[in-house]
Amino acid sequence: MPFYPFYFDWTIIILIPAMIFAIYAQAKVQSNFSKYSKVHNSRGLTAAQVARQILDENGLTNVAVEHISGNLTDHFDPKTNVVRLSDSVMNSTSVAAIGVAAHECGHAIQHATGYFPIKVRTALVPITNIGSSISIFVILFGLLFGNSTLALFGVALFSLAAVFQAVTLPVEFNASSRALATLESRYILDDDEIPGARKVLSAAALTYVAALVSSLATVLRLLLIVMGSRRRND
């Protein structure tokens, strides 16, 4: 029996727990960031000032700190050597904003020191992009024409996204660990301010766990669809 791509099947339920987890993780980030955005550091430092201090103290005077529009769109761009801080972070003196800024500086330090997991993640980016863009088409062609081998190859291509998410976890956890250690050891935040930054970064890390769970759930669903199609064709 040929596979029809718009046919509803029970495997969709596999994605439901992952979707719920992703919604919870995102809500946790927003809740914690909102809460600790109202808690300002006793030194009156802005997130941009903290980022500049951390970068300079690690010998990264060549890394710029720039503003980027949006909410929590903060990131480090290794191509241009720029830490970009969002509207809600750049000029904020909150412990939430400072935690986020320090985290992005952690990524800059990872690149500068040759942190191995981030090298692996960078190398995976083009491969993952190609795999993600063509995998669904490969799977559909394989199912439509009863070629389970081709369909399984498509699933393998899609699973590169899960590999990428798995490699991303240690990168993000390490950046947060570096950030918190720096904020504490450099006395940028007081002892009673550190827990707030930690909760914000822990919640952010949860979103990466959710992304991995979602990718794995999708891979499992695709495998079940392909194997089910193979049994029907036998």
**H helix and E strand count, the chain:** 7, 3
**Length of the chain in terms of residues written:** 234
Q: Are 78 and 111 in contact (CB under 8 A)?
A: yes
Q: Are 60 and 220 in contact (CB under 8 A)?
A: no
The separation between the first and the last C-alpha atoms of the chain, rounded to the nearest angstrom, is: 9
- Annotated catalytic residue: which of 57, 104, 172, 193? 104
Q: How far apart are CA 146 and CA 226, in angstroms?
A: 10
Q: Is 104 a catalytic residue?
A: yes
Identify the CA nearest to 59 among candidates 122, 111, 119, 101.
111
Residues that are catalytic? 104
